[in-house]
């Protein structure tokens, strides 16, 4: 595992370096052209894209990764998984696009506070098939453990997305930024498809056809778990932003969103590694002792890295904020210590949480997502009412501290139930 993890991390490092550079450029352009208030609007729309992307087929991603890894010795069964996921993705995309087109005006008025931005919803409707396809293709590459192809697709997709985004923002300001959010992942799907084609040599027509019922049943649990994350958490973030607008105006919500963009950027390597390496690895382990050992190795790998990056960001917080954004965003540095603590707790909790996903503990995972999203929303707004932006960061840290305790307890329950197969001696089960 160590060599594979090191190779995965090195290759991911190249992808992360690309995303960091492109992200820096994009953050700077957004900060200059739309300011803190615009960041809040962008955040609301990103939450909508995340929700609809999951409902349109992206929710099958973790299931595709796990089942592809499990069926590595049976290409026909792998193909059945991909075909089933692609069919569901197409159906979900068309359904979600229809809803967007029918309710574009009210959605723009509610979410973006401007009904005149309804045409942005039409752009998103057109992009949904590409968004779903991009997620499914990357998930298949992860399940195949085609790390090089996965990373190449990620790098190329990042470059395509950022060039498109910068062009649109410079030309059309906030409207251009919203269109870029809507179509960015669809544009990135071009790179993902090319990378997948280099790995898989089958006929594209083989991906079209009837749904495989066993694959559909296997994917269903993962889809429910991912949909819970992709719907419940964005709704919580929407509620937090709306609450912050009421407490301190659009600028406060925008500063919170910028702080989260900073968190997402520095956690990118670790979250990608968790999805690309740990999810399929945990899925292959059916022994409780071995699973505990794998989680411990995960801790030893991710915790030193996230602590080091968090400390570096805190020490360089003011010049870093000026570089990534503008001086208008400097107030977020007052809350950054609590936000970075929350990032450390978040990554630490995700290691055992991935065992719930990999072993399809659907009901428990969904319940925990709902409960802890409510906890995060309540604590962020409650503390923000007293301490402003710092309070919102405190709520974030408290939430992930509680979540880590919860998932570690659930890991203990899972590993207790996972028993190693009995030893065979002279054809008989051992003691």
Whether pLDDT at 184 is above 80: yes
pLDDT band, residue 423 (cuts 50/70/90): very low
Q: Is the pLDDT of residue 428 over 60?
A: no
Percent of the chain with pLDDT over 90: 34
pLDDT band at 285 (very low <50, low <70, confident <90, very high): confident
Task: Tell the residue number behind the tokens 């060039």, with chain if given.
Answer: 163
Question: What is the maximal distance between C-alpha atoms in the chain?
Answer: 77
Q: How confident is the model at residue 427 (pLDDT cuts 50, 70, 90)?
A: very low
Averaged pLDDT of the chain: 85
Average pLDDT of 119-126? 94
Segment 288-300 shows an average pLDDT of: 85
Q: Residue 202 — φ and ψ, nearest 5°?
A: -75, 175
Identify the CA nearest to 315 among candidates 290, 295, 340, 294: 340
Q: Which of 13-22, 162-171, 322-331, 393-402 has the highest mean pLDDT?
A: 393-402
Indicate if the pLDDT at residue 429 is higher than 50: no
Quick: pLDDT tens for 344-387: 999 999 888 888 777 767 778 788 888 999 999 999 999 999 99
Specify whether the CB–CB gap between 389 and 273 falls below 8 A.
no
Q: Which two tokens stand for residue 43?
A: 């955040």
Q: Which two tokens stand for residue 284?
A: 């292959």
> pLDDT of 104-116, one tens digit each?
999 999 888 888 8
Contacts of 347 (CB under 8 A, 6+ apart): 267, 270, 271, 274, 302, 303, 306
Q: Return the minimum-mean-pLDDT range out of 49-53, 148-152, 321-325, 354-358.
A: 354-358
Which range is least confidently modeled, 33-42, 89-98, 219-228, 330-339? 219-228
| Cα separations in angstroms, 105 against 97, 101, 224, 419 | 14, 9, 29, 55
Q: How large is the average pLDDT for residues 256-281?
A: 80
Q: Give the pLDDT of residue 7.
A: 60
**3-state SS assignment for residue 208:** coil
Q: Are 94 and 127 in contact (CB under 8 A)?
A: no
pLDDT computed for residue 385 by the predictor: 96
pLDDT of residue 236: 92
Let me know: does 324 contact 283? Beta carbons within 8 Å. no
Three-state DSSP class for 428?
A: strand
pLDDT per residue over 39-50, tens digit each? 889 989 989 998
The confidence score (pLDDT) of residue 360 equals 61
Q: Can you give the pTM of this predicted structure? A: 0.79
pLDDT classification of 9: cutoffs 50, 70, 90? low
Section 66-94 average pLDDT? 86
Does residue 4 register a pLDDT over 70? no
200-209 confidence digits (pLDDT tens): 877 777 777 7
pLDDT of residue 338: 97
* 420, pLDDT greater than 60: no
Contact (Cβ atoms closer than 8 angstroms) between residue 27 and residue 324: yes
Give the containing element (helix H, strand E) for 332: none
């Amino acid at each position: 595992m160590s060599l594979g993890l090191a190779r995965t991390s090195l290759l991911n490092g190249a992808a992360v370096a690309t995303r960091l550079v492109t992200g820096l450029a994009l953050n700077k352009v957004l900060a200059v052209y739309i300011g803190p208030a615009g960041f809040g609007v962008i955040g609301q729309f990103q939450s909508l894209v995340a929700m609809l992307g999951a409902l349109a087929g992206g929710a099958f991603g973790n299931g595709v990764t796990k089942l592809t890894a499990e069926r590595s010795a049976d290409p026909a069964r792998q193909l059945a998984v991909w075909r089933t996921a692609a069919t569901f993705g197409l159906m979900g995309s068309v359904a979600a696009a229809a809803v967007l087109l029918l309710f574009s005006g009210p959605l723009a008025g509610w979410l973006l506070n401007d009904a005149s931005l309804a045409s942005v919803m039409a752009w998103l409707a057109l992009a949904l098939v590409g968004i779903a396809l991009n997620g499914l293709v990357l998930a298949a590459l992860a399940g195949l453990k085609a790390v090089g192809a996965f990373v190449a697709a990620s790098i190329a997709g990042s470059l395509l997305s950022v060039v498109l985004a910068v062009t649109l923002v410079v030309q059309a300001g906030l409207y251009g930024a919203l269109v870029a959010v809507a179509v960015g992942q669809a544009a990135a799907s071009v790179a993902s498809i090319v990378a997948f084609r280099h790995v898989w040599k089958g006929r594209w027509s083989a991906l079209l056809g009837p749904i495989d019922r066993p694959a559909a049943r296997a994917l269903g649990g993962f889809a429910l778990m991912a949909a819970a994350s992709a719907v419940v958490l964005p709704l919580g973030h929407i509620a937090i932003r709306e609450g912050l607008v009421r407490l301190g105006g659009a600028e406060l919500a925008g500063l919170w969103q910028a702080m989260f963009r900073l968190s997402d950027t520095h956690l990118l390597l670790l979250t990608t590694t968790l999805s690309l390496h740990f999810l399929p690895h945990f899925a292959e382990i059916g022994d409780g002792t071995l699973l505990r050992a794998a989680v411990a190795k995960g801790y030893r790998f991710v915790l030193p890295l996230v602590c080091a990056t968090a400390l570096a960001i805190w020490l360089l917080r003011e010049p870093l904020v000026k570089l990534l954004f503008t001086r208008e965003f400097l107030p977020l540095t007052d809350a950054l210590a609590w936000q970075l603590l929350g990032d450390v707790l978040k990554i630490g909790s995700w290691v055992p949480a991935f065992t719930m996903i990999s072993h399809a503990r659907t009901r428990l995972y969904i319940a925990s997502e709902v409960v802890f999203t409510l906890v995060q929303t309540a604590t962020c707004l409650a503390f923000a009412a007293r301490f402003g932006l710092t309070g919102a960061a405190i709520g974030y840290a408290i939430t992930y501290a509680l979540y880590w305790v919860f998932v570690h307890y659930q890991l203990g329950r899972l590993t207790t139930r996972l028993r190693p197969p009995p030893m065979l001696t002279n054809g008989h089960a051992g003691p």
